[in-house]
Structure 1
Amino acid sequence: MFTGIIEDLGIVTRLEHEQENLHLTMQSSITHELKIDQSVSHNGICLTVIQIKDDTYTVTAIKETLDKTNLGHLKVGDQVNIERAMKLGDRLDGHIVQGHVDQTAICQSVKPVDGSWVFTFEYDTSLNNITIEKGSITVNGVSLTVVDSKLNQFSVAIIPYTYEHTNFNTFEVGTVVNLEFDVVGKYIKRLYNLNTAS
């Protein structure tokens, strides 16, 4: 379980394919605090630490994860939003984030707005995911509030701190991002669909 509050920007130092799996080696300032078998969110994807060496650690993504996320787009040198699992009893500063990406989206626009930025993303509606105005959304692991909700599109406003401390500062039109929709909203939509089908 995560909160969507990013702790560090990790750097991809190695990408190694093994059959259909991808091993990602990351350099991070929090590596010394990690341990083998620990869950860490990478651009919103919960992955398990399998190796630690000096200031780098390695995680593995399986085919299903690669198919549903933007991990396959990563290159050596890319920045990745990193968050460790939340501690029981800590403040929930973002919202409840599972680390299970629902689908990807494509950045449609980046607009500077007098000290902040508005990012607009478009996603495929065939998976029946939805956003609502002022609802929560996770983009590349970052907990955000939807400011403009449409059928297949939404926008978020990014403050300077978030822009500087996450990989939002690398986004441009066409950038593929990971989305995790609000878990409460997903349950409500599922219940609604079951009730209307019966």
Structure 2
Amino acid sequence: MFTGIISDVGTIVAREPFGDGARLTIETAYDAASIAIGASIACAGCCLTVTTLEALPSGSRFTVDVSSESMDKTTIGTWAVGQAINLERSLKAGDELGGHLVSGHVDGRAEIVDRADEEGMTTFTFRPPVELLPLIAHKGSVALDGTSLTVIEPGTTFSVAMIPHTLAVTTWGDRQKGDRVNIEVDTIARYVARLVDARTAA
């Protein structure tokens, strides 16, 4: 589990075929001594497993293996060498839950249809997959590229507002209209919808 609070911005430094998917190498400021092989790290919101690890003077370099299904259903299929991605370490017992509970299991891709930069705030508007619309609620939580954000004005699209700090410490400062991002709806909303479906079918 994760919280949607980004703790570093990593860089993809290598990409190679791996089975029907890909093996990605990512550099980060995370201390290699604090990472175990098999650890889960959310990469732009996707929960991925560390398969190799190397210490660097300024942090570490690790690899993750990605299946073709994950590449098809998330933005991973478009990631290239040199690209920056939001990173978050998995939640530990006793850690502060600053955002909301995020599983790292991405539900799909949302398109940025507008970016409005105003003094002290930037508002992004997204078009999510239509099947996710019933699970996105006003003032509810959503994870976009791994970032915990609050929904405003949901409809066929929805918006979120970001303060300058968020833009500065994540990849959001560079995001523009037309970009696609990973979206994970609120876990509680997903399970409530499943219960409603089950009762309706009974």
TM-score relative to the length of structure 1: 0.95
CA displacement, residues 120-169 of structure 1 (integer Å, 9 cap, x when unaligned): 1102213565210000000000001001211x311100111111111111
Cα RMSD (Å):
1.3
Q: Which residue number in structure 1 is paired with residue 200 of structure 2?
A: 196
Deviating beyond 6 angstroms after TM superposition, the runs of 4 or more aligned structure 1 residues are none
Return the alpha-carbon distance in structure 2 between the equivalents of residues 116 and 34 of structure 1: 35
Q: Which runs of 5+ in 2 are unaligned?
A: none
Q: What do the CA deviations read for 1:83-114 (whole angstroms, capped 9, x no partner)?
A: 00011111211000001001111110110122
Equivalent residue number for residue 11 of structure 1: 11
**Equivalents in 1 of 2:119, 2:201: separation in Å?**
47
Q: Please tell me whether residue 47 in structure 1 is matched to residue 48 in structure 2.
A: yes
Alignment correspondent of 2:176: 172
1:95 aligns with 2:106: no
CA distance in 1 between counterparts of 2:199 and 2:133 reads: 16
In the alignment, which residue of structure 1 is the partner of 2:25?
25
Q: Percent identity?
A: 37
Q: Closer, same or farther in 2 for the Cα pair 1:127/1:3, shift >3 Å?
A: closer
Measured in 2, the distance between the counterparts of 1:181 and 1:36 equals: 28
Q: Which residue of 2 aligns with 1:182?
A: 186
* 1:117 counterpart residue number: 122
Q: Judge conservation of contact 1:50–1:57 (CA < 8 Å) in 2.
A: yes
Which residue in 1 is equivalent to 2:89? 84
Deviations along 1:28-50, one digit per CA (max 9) or x if unpaired, are 00042212111000000000000
Q: What is residue 109 of structure 2 aligned with on the other side?
A: 104
Q: What letter corresponds to residue 14 of structure 1 in structure 2? A: A
Contact 2:18-2:65 within 8 A present in 1 as well: no
Unaligned runs of 5+ in 1: none
